[in-house]
């Protein structure tokens, strides 16, 4: 599982760099400045959680069964939170109104919070 977690963190990190560059250079003349800032928020949160997965995959301080749950919370959270933000920020470029699926963004945020809380709890119990 550690290899999968670490590899996923690496892939999400690479995608965050690519999406950040796309947002800064590819979208600058296509969407409003506030939409670019929104897009960048998705990139930041994706990168933060990519780094978290790299740490999670590298640590022996958290039991393996807990790592699996943390991994799924974080991965699901990144997809629902960051990727919905990407779609919402670029909504003006498509004919589909992504605002209709905007309710998934806070669900993704909740999954990220749960992942952090579970990681903190399990690490605390393992340190004790």
The CB-based long-range contact list for 116-123 (8 Å cut-off, 24+ gap) reads 116/52, 118/66, 118/69, 118/70, 118/73, 119/52, 119/56, 119/62, 119/66, 119/70, 122/62, 122/63, 122/66, 122/70, 123/61, 123/62
Model confidence at 54: pLDDT above 80: yes
Residue 12's domain spans which residues? 2-127
How many separate domains does the chain show?
A: 1
What pLDDT is recorded for position 60? 87
Interval 7-22: pLDDT, tens? 999 999 999 999 999 9
CATH of the domain at 27: 1.20.120
pTM for this entry? 0.91
Q: Residue 4 and residue 53: Cα distance in Å, rounded?
A: 10
């Amino acid at each position: 599982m550690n290899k999968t977690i670490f590899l996923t963190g690496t892939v999400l990190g690479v995608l965050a760099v690519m999406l950040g560059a796309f947002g800064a250079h590819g979208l600058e003349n296509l969407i409003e400045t506030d939409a670019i800032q929104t897009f960048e928020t998705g990139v930041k949160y994706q990168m933060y959680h990519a780094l978290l997965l790299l740490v999670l995959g590298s640590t022996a301080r958290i039991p393996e069964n807990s790592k699996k749950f943390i991994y799924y919370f974080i991965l699901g959270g990144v997809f629902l939170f960051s990727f919905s933000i990407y779609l919402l920020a670029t909504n003006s470029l498509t004919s589909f109104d992504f605002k209709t699926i905007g309710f998934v963004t806070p669900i993704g945020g909740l999954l990220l919070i749960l992942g952090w809380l579970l990681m903190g709890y399990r690490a605390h119990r393992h340190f004790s």
